Structure 1
Amino acid sequence: MKVEVSEEMHEVCPEFVGACITSNIKNTEFSKELWEEIDALSQHYRDTLTTESVKTMTSIQATRRIYKLCGKDPSRYRPSGEALIRRVLQGKALYQIDTLVDLINLASMRYGYSIGAFDSDRFVGDTLKLGIGREGEPYEGIGRGMINIAGMPVYRDSEGGVGTPTSDHERTKVTLSTTKLTVLVNGYDGNEADVRATAEYILERLSKYCEATEAGYHIYHY
């Protein structure tokens, strides 16, 4: 799968850098050890952050800025990295979905990036392109129904949108039957070192918790 950044996105965020991770995996319903990691990070954030200070994390700050530049209110349509951290700061537990989704949520919390996870077999075509959502563009967010993605960064395959920083699409979501995985790390802050660190963090945990094979990643930008 090729990943490209459109000219319209480059104009809004010329510093964008992303990582595309691919792997064969085995998903499971629950991992106790993974949730020990999630709980420990959640407590660390409760001890060190507030719902105001979380906005100063550079990865979150950059994603919020891009939402505004594209025409979206980041306080109404929160990027996933920020939404996850805010949830734990409010004393709420994260939703437990399955090992793979929980793992991606952990990485998104750890680094603040919005990270998309997709079942590679559900893509249409051989290219994903990062652009900006259009008025009236249909998009069914996972567990959200139809959402308005106008003015929101969006990855599209040959059939349409598959991922935004707020929610990925029902059509390409990972499930317990997913065996081929694609993960996209979105560095709107342009920090390639942190994007690489996030990708390597995910790969380590895919190996540990999801029996990853043939796993690797590449960096992409405009």
Structure 2
Amino acid sequence: MKIPPFSIDEIIRQRCPNARLGCLLMAVKVAPSSPELLQFIQKELTHVQEKLVLENIHDLPPLHAAREAYKSFGKDPSRYRPSAEALLRRVVQGKGLYQINNVVDALNLVSAKSGFSIGGYDCGKISGDIRFGKGEANEPYQAIGRGVLNIDGLPVLRDEICAFGSPTSDSQRTMVSASTHYFLVVFFDFGGHPSVKEAMGELEKMIADFSMGALLDQKILM
């Protein structure tokens, strides 16, 4: 099984010329996070918390680039926060990360450590080719944990049905569940940062170690 065909719309290339997507496709066994995984996550979050203060989160290069990309589309990044920023704010404030399942918890940790917003999708719920473009006015989008999200002006992923992912929040339609077998991961890299490869490798290893995951395909789309 391979990553579905991807394309990047011209408006993304014009507004965010350095934007690229780091993609992993993994076979996984979704389950509640083990005590070992939760202990590992807490240990890593302690290191993140020691290094950052709330006022300096925006200085992380991947997060700074994402915020600038939002501004280029006229979207306020403080109102529609990139998901990595929302996670980091929780960590720095001592609130920790939400506990969802083994694959999503691993994804959220790598996002908080790296500063990249990362989308995680049930590949079996994606229909046809995928396009990376801009959300339109009144385009329907049910975000996980927050209901209707106004994606007008937000960078989004679309398949043949509708938008299903964004750096702010993924959609309910393609969310990961206990029945997910193929996990598609998308790193939103708006600055062409070399560190995305390291972050992709870290997430791959975590999922292999804690979710019996097997890498099926990977690529960086520019």
- Same fold judged by TM-score > 0.5? yes
Tell me the SS of whatever aligns to 2:173.
helix
Counterpart CA distance in 1 for 2:196 and 2:71 is 22
User: Is the contact between residue 22 and residue 216 of structure 1 (CA under 8 Å) also seen in structure 2?
Assistant: yes
Counterpart CA distance in 2 for 1:186 and 1:70 is 16
Deviation digits for residues 163-216 of structure 1, max 9, x if unmatched?
01110010000011111111001111111x211111111111111011122433
Which residue of the partner structure matches residue 152 of structure 1?
154
Task: Choose which of 2, 5, 19 in structure 2 pairs with 1:2.
Answer: 5
Deviation digits for residues 38-96 of structure 1, max 9, x if unmatched?
21222222222111111100000000110111111111111111110110111212111
Which residue of the partner structure matches residue 28 of structure 1?
31
Which residue of the partner structure matches residue 122 of structure 2?
119
CA offset at residue 124 of structure 1? 1.2
Q: 1:7-86 maps to which residues of 2 (within 5 A)?
A: 7-86=10-89
AA of the residue aligned to 1:196: K
Which residue of the partner structure matches residue 176 of structure 1?
178
- 2:74 is aligned with 1:93: no
> Percent same amino acid at aligned positions?
37
AA of the residue aligned to 1:75: S
Which residue of the partner structure matches residue 216 of structure 1?
217
Counterpart CA distance in 1 for 2:85 and 2:56 is 11
Counterpart CA distance in 2 for 1:83 and 1:70 is 20
Counterpart CA distance in 1 for 2:175 and 2:159 is 14
Counterpart CA distance in 2 for 1:88 and 1:122 is 31
Change (3 A) 1:60 1:214: closer
Counterpart CA distance in 2 for 1:52 and 1:157 is 37
- 2:107 is aligned with 1:104: yes
User: Is the contact between residue 18 and residue 195 of structure 1 (CA under 8 Å) also seen in structure 2?
Assistant: no
Give the paired residue count: 219
Counterpart CA distance in 2 for 1:139 and 1:78 is 16
- 2:197 is aligned with 1:196: yes
User: Is the contact between residue 24 and residue 215 of structure 2 (CA under 8 Å) also seen in structure 1?
Assistant: no
Scaled by the length of structure 2, the TM-score of the pair is: 0.95
Structure 2: state its 5+ residue gaps: none
Which residue of the partner structure matches residue 163 of structure 1?
165
User: Is the contact between residue 203 and residue 216 of structure 1 (CA under 8 Å) also seen in structure 2?
Assistant: no
Deviation digits for residues 3-40 of structure 1, max 9, x if unmatched?
21110100011111211100111011122222222212
Deviation digits for residues 121-146 of structure 1, max 9, x if unmatched?
10111x11110111111100011111
Counterpart CA distance in 2 for 1:220 and 1:130 is 10
